Each structure stands twice: as C-alpha cells, then as structure tokens.
Structure 1
Amino acid sequence: MQNFTLQEIQCFDAVVREGGFQAAAALLNRSHAAVFAAIAKLEDNLGVALFDRTGYRVALTDAGRSFHRKAQSLIGEMEALQLHARQLAMGEETHLRVILGDACPLNDGLQLLSGFFANCHTTRLDLHFETIGGPCERLLEDEADLILHWIDKSDSRLEWIDLGTHSFVPVVAPGFLPFAPTGSITPEQMRGLTQCIIRDTARVPKLNYYIVEGAPQCTVADHPMRREVILRGMAWGHLPHFMIEEDLRDGRLLSITGEYFPGVEVALVAARRRDRPHGPIANRLWDHIGACAPDLQKR
C-alpha cells in the first residue's frame, strides 16, 4: 500500500457527502475529471474499492464505509489545525461571543464577565441572551465561543465548569386557582388554566419543559416577563427560585410544588467546545471563570 494525500481524502469525503462526483467537484471547485482521478488513485494506493459504481449512483462499499469513518476524524483534525493556525496568525481575539442562558442569574453572569472584561480592553464582548435549547445550539453551530447555561454533559464535544445549581418552582398568584393550592394538584386540574411558557430560541426545538399538554398557553420571551404575567394572575408557570424568593416569602406568589409538579434542579455551567481550539483571550476567560466558580457554587 502506498501513501495517500490529504487532497485525496478530501475528494473522497466530498463524494460521500454529496452523493456523486459531479456534486463533489462543484463543492471543491475542481473539475469532475480531477475528483474522479483522485478517487481512483486513492483506491489504487489502498488496494481496495471504496465505491460501488455498478448502480445509477455511486455507493460506498463496506470497506469504503469503514474507511470513511476513520477519514472523518482526520478531516476534523485538519479543520481544527487550520482554525488554530488562523488564530495564531491573528494573535489575540478581537471579540468573543458569549451567550447568557435563561438559567443563569443575570447579576451573577454579568458580574462574572465584567470582572474579566474590565481589564481586557482590546477584545470586544459580543453578548447575547438565548433561552432553553438556544444557547447550546448556538455553541454547537459555532455561533458562540462560550455559554452560561445548562448542557447535556454526555456530549463529548463539550467541556464545562460547574457554577452551581438553581431550582425552578411552579407558582401561581393568590386567587388564581379555582381550588386550594396544595401539593397534590394534578395535571388534569391544571389543564383548563393558562400556562405561561418561554419561547425556545433554538431553531430546532427538541425539548418541551414543564408543559401541560392541551392547556391554553401564554408565551413570553424571558423569565422577568413571565414573572410579571404570573404576578398579575394571567397564568401560572415555572420560575427560577433566585428570582422569586421575596415573592414567595411575602405571599405575592404561591408554590404548587408537589407530586405531579416537583419543580426541577438545573445545573448551571460555563461551557465551550472541547473539539475546537481556543485563542489566548478565550483561554484566559476560561481560567478566570474556573477561579470564580467555587464562590458561585456557594451561593
């Protein structure tokens, strides 16, 4: 077996992803003949057929499928190396894209970031707010460098720093319920009452948190607006405890936490891509968050 080139691997991957030589050639901005020749040379060097060409469209052979799985990791490493080289050539980043999620207390998030960016005048903070699945979707689509939110910790593409947990409590205003506010309220009892929910900013929403199916809904953009709607007796819903602690203590809001509406504990983290290189400013911010994390976890 002879050595193969990275260009041949790129042609091979393009044919697989695009489903044909002509489409792969257009993607790579190369001629059909050049792509065809690269694949033929790759197969010759490997000594195996990667594609079955007997049908109307080319299809991977078993050997081709196996080789492509390995090739994808090589291509990923190459793309990461190219990105790292661009970052080295640029020096320190001119801006960082950070997303505050709805699970992050605004004061804590801004205090954490201001403690860093107050002494980092050459890098602009590009700060956004997203809800529910939006923060992680932006991160995985390379539209954010860092998020302060919750994540799926089983996702190997991500690394994180724990920042503590926050509870979300189902609440109503006094007089909203047509029955006693006890811990044994069922979804059937709540189905006829308006529920206030937050719009998911994910382009492809995948999760449906705390929603009573079939209940009328009032939709808002964030927790402060949801709090105002609930306080005015327009709907019920879940709110973060850090936002309504005084409301609960003073009786402006009533918890209906119980067997069927237990509330939820959310693990707040700072998260970024593990499978992407990060510039010097991003790494210093990461270290800053790591140093501050123990204090945030105590709150």
Structure 2
Amino acid sequence: MQKTTLEQWRMFKAVVDEGGFNQAASVIHKSTSSIHHAVNKLEDSLGVKLLAVEGRKTSITEIGKVLLRRADYLLDEVSRIEAVADSLSLGVETELRIAVDGAFPQCIIFQALEKVSAMFPQVNIDIIDTVLSGTNELITEGKADIGLSPIPMPKGLNEELCLIEFLAVAHKDHALHQLDQSLSKENLKSYRQIIVRDSATQKKTDAGWLGAEQRWSVSHVRASIDLIEQNLGYAWLPLSGITESLASGHIKRLKLDAGGSRSVSFYLNYLDKDRIGPAAREFMGELRLLTLQMTTSDA
C-alpha cells in the first residue's frame, strides 16, 4: 500500500512553488490548515523533513529538493495521462494550434494545412507567429500543440525536419557593397544591423552575430526583410523569404570573408505523441513530405 497520495505531493509542490503555505492556499484554493495537514502527513509517512519553517519564512530542505524532483516527474506524468484520456474521449480535435518560427517557409505550412482542412473541415486552425524560443515556450505552456523552431525542446519530442539557409544581405545600394572588397566582421560593425528579437517572454535566446554598434530589433522576419529592401541596414535572412528580391537584384549578398551563409536545423516539436490528435498527425505527415520534397529539389 502506498504511504503517500498525489494530492499530498501537489500541495507540497504548491508550497515550494509559491513560497509559503498562505500563498499556496490562494493559488490552489485550499485552506491553509488543510495544506499544513497534508504536508505534515507526507513528512510523517516518509519519515523525513521536507520543509523548514522559521517564523514566516518557509524553505525546502535538501531532502525535499531531491524528492520534489521525483514528484515533479510523477505529477507531470499524471497530467499527461489525463490529457491523453481527454483527447481519446473527444476523438478528432476541434482546434489545431501551431506555433511557427518566422524563418520557416510559410508556403510549406499553408500547403500542409490545406490538406488537413480538406480532410478535417471541422477543425479550426490557429497559426501563431513566433521567433526563436517563443515556439517552445507556447508548447510548454499548453498554448500550442505543435511547433516549428530552430531550437529543440529540453522536455518534449524534437524531430529534425530540414536545414534552412540564412544569407547575409543588404540593399543593392547599401554602402557595404560600395566597399568593393571581401568584408570582415570589423567592416560590419560601423553599419546598422537588423535583428529579429526572441518572442519568448521568459528565457530569451540570441542568434547570429550581434557585433554591430547600432542595431534595430524587430518582432518578425517579414519586418526585417522590409527594412533591408528599404536600404535601412543589413541582416542575415532566410533564403526562402528573399528569393525573388535576390533574383531581381534588389538586394544582394554581402561579400563576407567568412560567415556569409549559414544553415540552421529546424525541428518539429511537441510534448507527447499520445496527445496528438488525428488532424495534428495528418499535418505532421504532410509537413514531413513537403520538407523532404523541398530538400530534394534544393539538392
């Protein structure tokens, strides 16, 4: 017979996460006395001290930290089981939420979703624009079901889909092109760099070279492309988004002696394959096929 219950572990975790019994009570809507009773009973059953209370300050013990790590895994697994049960009971999902990094080719997303909508016309599609860590943050918070990101998730499933090529470019009339020489990073420092900021609200990530003395930050790749086309700076941009501008000569590659081109892996990220519904699975299958065709045609 088990000595402890999931509810006791949930209350213990709440006390640690919120920093005290009173704070935990307001968050999980339990009385302070019931939380005290649950944690005390948990400690008595295990024969260890999980929390140390000094006046109004409550802190976790070293033993408590070890056991909380195990409890976190246990509680997460229970949440996954409940979510899978909900998904199975509902059948086809009513909504498919996809977080897509702005550097990923939008045409591929739209083609895949067109197939999904033809098969599941009752499913509402929500496409959320993200940058860098923003995709994984939405998945972790339960605000997106699937994500396309250049950053793998530390917790979850990551399937590498393809490589996206980024090029250092500027408007055809930009001063860097007038230097008429192989450019070093020192040459770039005196000119304005356009960067796309991470859309995450918590742990943000920087990507690429950020050595320019002047930088303009924008929230989407499309805005970065617009600024380059207006001769307002230089940037590393995804090839898929600037193909026409390059072909017309409106923007040109910078002649860097190193780092003028880089390939970035993009991942299909999600938390748990058992929680993925039929429409999501169809989308993922179409996405794999289309990215494979893109890779083959590029080769």
What TM-score range do you get, normalising by the shorter chain? Answer: 0.7 to 0.9
Q: Does 1:230 align with 2:205?
A: no
Q: Distance in 2 between matches of 1:53 and 1:128?
A: 44
Counterpart of 1:139 in structure 2 is 139
Correspondence for 2:296:
298
Counterpart of 2:8 in structure 1 is 8
Q: 1:46 to 1:200 in 2, by over 3 A?
A: closer
Deviation at 1:18, TM superposition (A): 2.1
2:267 corresponds to = 269
Q: Distance between the aligned counterparts of 1:243 and 1:40, measured in 2?
A: 59
Q: Could you tell me how far apart the structure 1 residues matched to 2:295 and 2:222 are?
A: 23
**What percent of counterpart residues are identical?**
24
Specify whether residues 59 and 273 from structure 1 end up closer, same or farther in structure 2 by C-alpha distance, changes over 3 A only: same
Cα gap change, 1:162/1:69 in structure 2, threshold over 3 Å: closer, same or farther? closer
C-alpha distance in structure 1 between counterparts of 2:43 and 2:227, whole Å: 65
Structure 1 match to 2:210: 211
* Aligned equivalent of 1:121: 121
Q: 1:143 to 1:14 in 2, by over 3 A?
A: same
Match of residue 83 from structure 1:
83
**C-alpha separation in 2, matches of 1:39 and 1:221:** 45
1:159 counterpart residue number: 157
Instruction: Give the superposition deviation at 1:64.
Output: 1.9
Aligned residue runs from structure 1 range 44-59, under 5 A: 44-53=44-53, 56-59=56-59
Name the counterpart of 2:168. 170
Structure 2 stretches lacking a partner, 5+ long:
none
Give the whole-Å Cα distance in 2 for the aligned partners of 1:294 and 1:165.
Answer: 11
**217-226 or 262-271: bigger deviation:** 217-226
- 1:230-260 Cα distance to aligned partner (Å, 9 max, x none): 2343322222222334543553322124235
Cα shift readout 1:140-179 (whole Å, capped 9, x = no counterpart): 2221111223223xx3423233332121111122332264
Tell me the CA shift for residue 44 of structure 1.
1.7
Residues of 2 paired with 1:223 and 1:181: CA distance? Answer: 28
Q: CA RMSD in A?
A: 2.7
Cα distance change of structure 1 residues 246 and 9 upon mapping to structure 2, 3 Å threshold = closer
Asked whether the 8 Å contact 1:25–1:35 carries over to 2, the reply is: yes
Q: Deviation string for 1:73-122 (max 9, x for gaps)?
A: 11111222222233233332111111232121121221122122222112
Q: What's the TM-score, normalizing by structure 2?
A: 0.85
2:36 — aligned with what?
Answer: 36
Contact 2:108 / 2:290 at 8 angstroms: preserved in 1?
no
The answer to whether the 8 A contact 2:193-2:212 is kept is: no
Q: Quick check: 1:51–1:61 contact (8 Å CA) kept in 2? A: yes
2:256 is matched with 258
Where does structure 1 lack aligned partners over 5 or more consecutive residues?
A: none
Deviations 1:166-193 (A, max 9, x none): 211111223322642433x233322332
| In structure 2, C-alpha distance between the alignment counterparts of 1:33 and 1:219, rounded to whole Å | 50
The 2-side partners of 1:193 and 1:250 are apart by: 24
TM-score (norm 1): 0.85
Alignment-derived partner of residue 73 in structure 1: 73
